[in-house]
Amino acid sequence: MRFFYLITGLLLWQMSTAQQNTPALSDEFVLVIHGGAGTILKKNMTPEKEKAYNDALEMALKIGYDTLKKGGTALDAVEMAVRYMEDCPLFNAGKGAVFTNEGKNELDAAIMNGKTLAAGSIAGVTTIKNPISTARAVMEKSNHVMLIGKGAEKFAAENHQTIVDPSYFFTEQRWEALQDAKREDSLKQTQKTPDHLALKQPENRDYKYGTVGAVALDRYGNLAAATSTGGMTNKKFGRVGDAPIIGAGTYANNKTCAISCTGWGEYFIRLTMAKTISDMMEFGNWKLTDATNEMVMKRLPALGGDGGLIALDKDGNITLPFCTEGMYRGFVRQDGKTTVKIYKE
Amino acid sequence: MRFFYLITGLLLWQMSTAQQNTPALSDEFVLVIHGGAGTILKKNMTPEKEKAYNDALEMALKIGYDTLKKGGTALDAVEMAVRYMEDCPLFNAGKGAVFTNEGKNELDAAIMNGKTLAAGSIAGVTTIKNPISTARAVMEKSNHVMLIGKGAEKFAAENHQTIVDPSYFFTEQRWEALQDAKREDSLKQTQKTPDHLALKQPENRDYKYGTVGAVALDRYGNLAAATSTGGMTNKKFGRVGDAPIIGAGTYANNKTCAISCTGWGEYFIRLTMAKTISDMMEFGNWKLTDATNEMVMKRLPALGGDGGLIALDKDGNITLPFCTEGMYRGFVRQDGKTTVKIYKE
């Protein structure tokens, strides 16, 4: 009988230790998403189109929220939310990707884990259904951070990613946008538009750029960021924007913040947008909103670019600044109350 | 006669104004170069090989020095110095590029102008003789920052870059290195080496990675940085390292510093190495050497990576830290006295 008490005691002690070693999950978690920034004006939007965008943003938030609520990681949440937007033809990523000058869809994506600074990224792929999931596979199943082109597609195939025929990415609306862009380009050449203005986005044309992205803080206190894009309509020469560049369009670090950008990628690369904001916080003690405002509302337009971003710090503070007319965006916290917006406030 | 005096007076005034508007060229200028960091040990080097490396570094410095001395820009100097190293089969860039797993040479390069934050970069190209010059053409002749693969090659051809047959990049020494690497990989697979150690560089094998780079401060007070590489021997899946990533392996900003990195690229990308050092200076008032030491000697090995970099601030201070056994490196100032080194001090 003495042995029985001893063993029961040991078992109880063991159980209480195990419980202590599993940290209690925080009740707080946050997900922020975007579906691209651009010249989005209410006067040019139909109620049907507006509703479609709002519904899609709501659904992406719901998918990420459910993941976080049941104890999924920030990485899971941003991957799931971005996957949904990749599969939705409304956004310039995955199924809704814009066309290159050669009439192809070249996709880029990146993901980063704020806990470990692990990162994965792919660029210039044409046959991967969900680039964000392949970016995650690069992070978790390869020794590399960035894979491009045919090589990235080979890696995807070997790692059980869904491969599709390039025709999967065809949508009528994006094809028309390419034809518009080509017409405009030839018009500009006749009119001798200065080169540096040739990429300036015309009013109510969000075809030029567009991106989807998500940042999340999970119940373990970890941050993650994910971005996916079809790039720029009518892009040439294998152009790569900021989305797949770690530190430019995508960055996450538990010490500071998680960020996903959208906009005129060349300027985001030159400013190393996302990492600069993190560094302002880490080395200059800037607050998240001050740092993002300085970069998005001042330095980005000062250099000649435009766009926006979503940012989330380790304490759950969020900010969604943009210097364009609009940005498809939304967020949700642990209470499950979603907020989605399109235009300027 | 009164008119004669008036006109002479006006002319003299005009000339003196013109002179005032042309700023006197500074007498100070600096060029710093590297030819890659790695496991370079004196005991494994022959005197002939050592001399060949020293001579090549001296020549690259001389070419850049001559450019700067006669009033050439920092951009010109870094491009010229890197071009020379690309053409030299000793270094892993251009002619001396290492082979991929598929037996190809895939080249990456980037350049950045510290005055304007303009930048150009190419990745995964196989037919461009001097990737650094094409990166400069991307910066100066396109609306883009980064071009990859076949698209980048098409851009190069359209912009008068020298195109070569891929066989131009064949060198016996790199081909043997690929065979060695493959043998080792298959050995590791038999021995079940943990995946995260599979890329660890074996002693005295500088084939795994290697890069060339240059940073310069010119007589106009402008900074520039350039990096070029053949990547990693036996690399698969279109892997891209830090060299062509603006902010990771290459960065220049007149406000702070110019940096070119070499080493295990994945870690340099995850740390956004070059821009972080610039940000430590801009937002945290770190000194150049303190910032580079923190990043290269502490954070880089703490994350599990290794490598080195060259850095030059706007006041002409330089530092060349590395946490590997050696780094091919050198510098020259306005006095023309060159310093080249290979091993640890």
Contact call for residues B212 and B82 (beta carbons, < 8 A)? yes
For residues A182, A186, A188, A194, the Cα torsion angle rounded to the nearest 10 degrees is: 90
Chain A nearest CA to B280, separation (Å) = 6
First-to-last C-alpha distance (Å) of chain A? 73
Q: What percent of chain A has pLDDT over 70?
A: 87
CA dist., res. A121 & res. A19, Å (int): 37
- Is B35 strand, coil or helix? strand
What is the pLDDT, as a whole number, of residue B198?
Answer: 46
What is the pLDDT, as a whole number, of residue A14?
Answer: 58
> A212, A215, A211, A253: which is closest to A232 by C-alpha?
A211
Contact call for B237 and A154, based on CB within 8 A: yes
Q: Is B250 left (phi over 0), alpha (psi -120 to 50) or beta?
A: beta
Q: Which of A100, A126, A134, A211 is catalytic?
A: A211
pTM of the full structure: 0.91
What is the pLDDT, as a whole number, of residue A205?
Answer: 46
What is the pLDDT, as a whole number, of residue A238?
Answer: 95
> A138, A142, A141: which is closest to A128 by C-alpha?
A138
User: Of A119, A147, A269, which has the smallest distance from its Cβ to B145's Cβ?
Assistant: A269
- Regarding predicted confidence, which is higher, B300 or A15? B300
Chain B nearest CA to A335, separation (Å) = 33
ipTM of the prediction: 0.90
- Determine whether A211 is an active site residue: yes
CA dist., res. B196 & res. A118, Å (int): 12
What is the pLDDT, as a whole number, of residue A201?
Answer: 44
The pLDDT-based confidence of A2 (bands split at 50, 70, 90) is low
Contact call for B271 and A117, based on CB within 8 A: yes
- Regarding predicted confidence, which is higher, A297 or B103? A297
Q: Which residues of B touch A265 (CB under 8 A)?
A: 145
CA quadruple B82, B88, B89, B94: dihedral positive or negative?
A: positive
- Is B282 strand, coil or helix? helix
What is the pLDDT, as a whole number, of residue B208?
Answer: 61
Report the catalytic residues of B: 211
SS (H, E, C) chain A: CHHHHHHHHHHHHHHHHHHHHCCCCCCCCEEEEEEEEECCCHHHCCHHHHHHHHHHHHHHHHHHHHHHHCCCCHHHHHHHHHHHHHHCCCCCCHHHCCCCCCCCCCEEEEEEECCCCEEEEEEEECCECCHHHHHHHHHHHCCCCEEEHHHHHHHHHHCCCCECCHHHHCCHHHHHHHHHHHHHHHHHHHHCCCHHHCCCCCCCCCCCCCCEEEEEECCCCCEEEEEEECCCCCCCCCEECCCCCECCCEEECCCCEEEEEEECHHHHHHCCHHHHHHHHHHHHCCCHHHHHHHHHHHHHHHHCCCEEEEEEECCCCEECCECCCEEEEEEEECCCCEEEEEECC
The pLDDT-based confidence of A42 (bands split at 50, 70, 90) is confident
CB pairs under 8 A between A and B: 147
Q: Which residues of B touch A142 (CB under 8 A)?
A: 237
The pLDDT-based confidence of A185 (bands split at 50, 70, 90) is confident
Chain A nearest CA to B51, separation (Å) = 34
The mean predicted confidence, pLDDT, of chain A is 90
The pLDDT-based confidence of A345 (bands split at 50, 70, 90) is confident
- Amino acid letter for position B250: T
Contact call for B275 and A272, based on CB within 8 A: yes
CATH topology of domain B30-172+203-343: Glutamine Phosphoribosylpyrophosphate, subunit 1, domain 1 (3.60.20)
The pLDDT-based confidence of A18 (bands split at 50, 70, 90) is very low
For residue B240, give the chain A residue with the closest CA: A146
CA dist., res. A10 & res. A5, Å (int): 8
Question: Residue A83 is encoded by which pair of tokens?
Answer: 């996957």
**Radius of gyration in angstroms for the set of CA atoms belonging to chain B, rounded to a whole number:** 22
User: Of A198, A239, A280, which has the smallest distance from its Cβ to B151's Cβ?
Assistant: A239
Chain B contact probe: residue of A239, A295, A299 with most B CBs at under 10 A: A239
> A207, A171, A213: which is closest to A84 by C-alpha?
A213
User: Of A117, A239, A269, which has the smallest distance from its Cβ to B147's Cβ?
Assistant: A239
**Radius of gyration in angstroms for the set of CA atoms belonging to chain A, rounded to a whole number:** 21
For residue B141, the 8-state DSSP code is: H
Domain boundaries, chain A: 30-172+203-343
Strands B118-125 and B146-148: parallel
User: Of A144, A269, A286, which has the smallest distance from its Cβ to B146's Cβ?
Assistant: A269
Contact call for B303 and A119, based on CB within 8 A: no
Tens of each residue's pLDDT in chain B, 345 residues: 566 666 666 665 555 554 445 568 899 999 999 999 988 888 888 999 999 999 999 999 999 999 999 999 999 999 999 999 999 999 999 999 999 999 999 999 999 999 999 999 999 999 999 999 999 999 999 999 999 999 999 999 999 999 999 999 998 989 998 898 888 878 776 665 455 444 444 443 445 678 999 999 999 999 999 999 998 888 889 999 999 999 999 999 999 999 999 999 999 999 999 999 999 999 999 999 999 999 999 999 999 999 999 999 999 999 999 999 999 999 999 999 999 999 998
